[in-house]
Chains A and B, each alone.
Chain A
Amino acid sequence: MRNTLVKVGLSTAAAVLLMSSSAYAQATANASLNVTVNVAARARLTLGAAAITFADQDPGTVPTLTATALTVDVGARTSPAGNVALTVLATGPLASGGNTIAINNLAWTSTGTGFAATGTSNATTAQSVGTWTGPGSRAGSQTYTLPNSWTYAVGTYTTTLNYTLSVP
């Protein structure tokens, strides 16, 4: 009986020694999380102002009227090869009652990557303001000019310019 007890004691001690080396062996657990991101096609067009104004000037000293630069921000989510186009179309000539100034007198220069460097307003055919390829956000500015002619009849002339951003 004593031998048996001793053997059991030794066996237990050996087991404890063996187990103690593995008691804190590396343990790991894993878990997975599936992630889904939805990205839809989008277009954003933001003009820095809702109106531009040319202040009256003496044609003899200021032959060209220049408006404050108009900031233009374009955002497009499209395919990497998608063609993004921004155009502008005037609703008609600059008009003041029965007097008009031909819309092609209203021209612009631009800054910003992808923006057309120069352009001339048109009331029948949309004019390109800028083109880009692929998704992204682009910023630029347009500065409108108008010849300050002695031939203009006195008045306050207005027109509306409609900008269209196309994103496929």
Chain B
Amino acid sequence: MSADTRVQSLALLVAAALLGLASSAAAQSRTATLNVTINGFVRLTLSSSGVSFPDSNPDLVPQVPGTPGPLAITVKGRTAADANLRLSVLASDDLRSGVRTILASNITWTATGDGFVAGTLNPTTAQPVGSWIGAGARSGSQSLLFRNLWTHPPGTYTLTMTYTLSSP
């Protein structure tokens, strides 16, 4: 195929395509809608997987702060603009050391950060840690405290706190 022949063939194809489009445009109109689906999604990050309360003199330290210090909490939620985003925490049980127990309610917390609230741990009812409206990322901290009483029997007590972030 010569160079001239190639040019002619291409011109014919373009002309045919233009004719086809012209006839379509003249005959019908269609709207193509581009939809992007963004699913609801939440993410919860804690700065530590464990907190411990060292033994302390109840007279000198009536509220023992947890170590390693305030727990940084990051909450991310992709929700509807008016949807609620809730973060709660539930204790697995009371504090237990063998058969000895200390009420989980002896663990309390203070909070910093917009939407975060102070509270008292409970093993039967999830307690609010924070709530927000709409999508976004929020950061705050929770400072856990243990109520240090003379009436606590000696032992090494444990429980697990389960945080749940949810959006409807």
Contacts and interface: CB of A to CB of B under 8 A. Distances in A.
A137 B155 contact: no
Given A9-B30, A23-B40, A38 B54 contact: yes
B57 A36 contact: no
A24 interface: yes
A30 B162 CA distance: 7
Contacts of B44: 29-31
Given A25-B40, A26-B167, A36-B158, A13 B153 contact: no
B102 interface: yes
Given A38-B52, A137-B151, 6 more contacts: A2-B28, A9-B30, A25-B40, A27-B40, A28-B164, A77-B150
B12 to A, nearest CB: 20
A40 interface: yes
Given A26-B167, A27-B40, A36-B157, A77 B152 contact: yes
Given A15-B35, A28-B42, A75-B58, A6 B51 contact: no
Nearest to B31: A9
Interface string B11-41: 0000000000000100010111101011111
Contact of A16 (B35, B83, B151, B166): B35
Given A23-B39, A29-B44, A39-B155, A34 B30 contact: no
B49 A32 contact: yes
Contacts of B159: 35
A24 B79 contact: yes
Interface residues on B, range: 35 or more
Nearest to A8: B32
Contacts, number: 171
18 contacts: A2-B28, A6-B30, A22-B39, A24-B79, A30-B162, A31-B163, A32-B160, A35-B52, A35-B53, A35-B95, A35-B160, A36-B50, A36-B157, A39-B154, A42-B58, A134-B151, A136-B150, A137-B58
B164 A29 contact: yes
A118 interface: no
A13 B31 CA distance: 12
Contacts of A15: 35, 37
Contacts of A12: 33, 35
B94 to A, nearest CB: 11
A2 B24 contact: yes
A32 to B, nearest CB: 5
A5 interface: yes
A68 interface: no
A1 to B, nearest CB: 8
Contacts of A42: 57-58, 150
Contact of B53 (A19, A22, A38): A38
B139 interface: no
Given A29-B44, A36-B158, A38-B55, A75 B150 contact: yes
Interface string B126-168: 0000000000000000001010011111111111111111111
Given A12-B33, A26-B167, A41-B154, A32 B162 contact: yes
